Structure 1
Amino acid sequence: MKFICSGSEIDLRIDHLYVAGWTGRNGDAVQHHIDELAALGVAAPSQVPLYYRVSNTLLTQESVLEVLGEGTSGEVEPLLIQDRGRIWIGLASDHTDRDLEVHSVAASKQACFKPAAAELWSYGEVKDDLDTLAMHCSIEEDGDWVSYQKGALSNIRPLAELMEGAGFGDGSAMLCGTLGAIGGVRPASAYRMELQDAKRNRRITLNYAVRTLPIVA
């Protein structure tokens, strides 16, 4: 898969794709979210954090995401990729089928493509400043752009810890968890996402629209 880093195109091999869930650094907040979802019929995770395996072909750079039905939504997440011993950090969306999530979280992760930004940064450049990096997601809702998620990576477990827990290695990519949704998790027609590095005055952006396909019985 091709990405851009420091103005140059790089081709990275991705054989294994992980979606890390329940990665909040505040344990009480994670448990509160587990309890909220349990009330909606979503089963509690078998462990925290949990590393869902999905098809490596789900990572995409397409700007329009086709989904089945009205019950899907995206989440802004840091993306890690390792290839030939080197680690890169970028931005992706864990687009998930929320209707299917009630029956199987693992299946809901597999049901949707995961949009990824074309740009990456060297992980080594930012590894000492990871907690200062910030993410923001806006959604298009009823014709207006609304702030949906916002916060620093300090709200997520240390990325080095997540890589170790997943058994991360060459040929691996991982979406590393997200932030709470302002106003609650809900579908949207389009997304604008950013990973911000204020220290180096730079950002990675990810924009995509959602095209809904009918559910035919």
Structure 2
Amino acid sequence: MEFFVNGKVVKWEPKNLLIAGYTSKDQNSLREHIEELEKIGVAPPPAVPMIYQLSPELLCTDEEISAVRNDSSGEAEVVILEIDGEWHIGLGSDHTDRVLEAVSIQKSKQVCGKPVSKELWPLRSIEDHWDEIEMKSWYVVDGEERLYQSGKLAEFITPTELVDIIEARGYPVSEGAILCGTLPILSSEFLYGEEFKAELYDPRRKNRISLAYQIKILKDAEVV
């Protein structure tokens, strides 16, 4: 995989991929997110944050991913990647099969690609103003772009805190990628559309990272 860090090309392949869920510092927002999932039959988590280990091959910088039926959706998330011993921050989408999620959260995440931005920032460059970084996402549904998520990273525990929790639980992080949790959606229900867009904005440095990808719906198997 190729990434851009401070204008330079960095080639890197993940050895591990972890998805962190329920990482909000705000317990009210956390309960809202859990309630969103309960509406579609997802049981409350036994512990927070929850950590899901997935195949690193799911991580991609493709502009299109494939899904079975139009019942999967994306979620904007900070992604941190350990490259050559240093953590970097980018933008990812924990695209998830919402039907399968009611059966198994881990399986619902494993069946979908995880698009991430090609541009990364060294984590140390934004750690002192992590709380100020803004994150938004949009869904394009029938050609109409709708704001889907909006908030600041102040809502989440910091990457350093998250990595400490993950290591304490025995998960591998070396040369890995971690999706760090998502914002509550603004709509009353999940959206399913043809394109997902997201953005990280650093108001102090006036820098932004963008992510956009199309969702290709695979043709259903035909019964002969």
> Is the TM-score greater than 0.5?
yes
| Residue 131 (1) aligns with residue 131 (2) | yes
Q: Deviations over 1:53-87 (max 9, x none)?
A: 00000001110111111110001000100122211
| TM-score normalised per structure 1 | 0.95
> How many angstroms apart in 2 are the aligned matches of 1:50 and 1:24?
11
The question of whether the paired residues in 1 share the 8 Å contact of 2:85 and 2:175 is answered with: no
% identity of equivalent residues: 34
Between the aligned partners of 1:58 and 1:39, the Cα distance in structure 2 is 27
For 1:3, the equivalent position in structure 2 comes to 3
Partner Cα distance (2:35, 2:186) in 1: 18
| Structure 1 residue 165 displacement after superposition | 1.4
Question: Conserved in 1, the CA contact under 8 Å of 2:194 and 2:214?
Answer: yes
- Provide the C-alpha distance between the structure 2 equivalents of 1:13 and 1:117, rounded to a whole number of angstroms: 14
The alpha-carbon distance between structure 1 residues 73 and 39, as it changes in their structure 2 partners (threshold 3 A), is: closer
- Structure 1 residue 147 and structure 2 residue 147: aligned? yes
CA contact (8 A) 1:91 1:205 kept: yes
- 2:57 alignment partner AA: T
Q: After superposition, where does 1:1-217 map in structure 2 within 5 Å? A: 1-167=1-167, 169-183=173-187, 184-216=189-221
1:36 Cα offset (Å): 4.1
Q: How much does 1:39 deviate?
A: 4.1
Give me the whole-angstrom Cα distance separating, in 1, the residues matched to 2:27 and 2:57: 32
5+ residue gaps, structure 2, are none
Tell me, in whole angstroms, the C-alpha distance in 2 between the residues paired with 1:70 and 1:100.
12
CA contact (8 A) 2:80 2:88 kept: yes
Q: Which amino acid in 1 is paired with 2:218? A: L
C-alpha separation in 2, matches of 1:103 and 1:207? 28
Cα RMSD over matched residues?
1.4
Distance 1:39 1:76 in 2: 20
Q: Which amino acid aligns with 2:192?
A: P
SS at match of 2:204: helix
SS state at 1:208 partner: strand
Segments of 5+ residues of structure 1 without an aligned counterpart are: none
* Alpha-carbon distance, 1:35 to partner: 3.6
Q: Deviations over 1:80-119 (max 9, x none)?
A: 0012221100001000000100000010010100001100
Q: Return the letter of the residue paired with 2:112.
A: C
Residues in 2 aligned to 1:108 and 1:18: alpha-carbon distance in whole angstroms: 14
Q: Distance in 2 between matches of 1:137 and 1:28?
A: 21
* Contact 2:33–2:184 under 8 Å retained in 1: no
Deviations 1:11-48 (A, max 9, x none): 22310000101111111332343244334321221210
Match of 2:62, SS state, is: coil
User: What is the identity, as a one-letter code, of the residue corresponding to 1:16?
Assistant: N
Structure 2 residue matching 1:162: 3-state secondary structure: helix
Deviation at 1:185, TM superposition (A): 1.8
| Partners of 2:135 and 2:151 within 8 A in 1 | yes
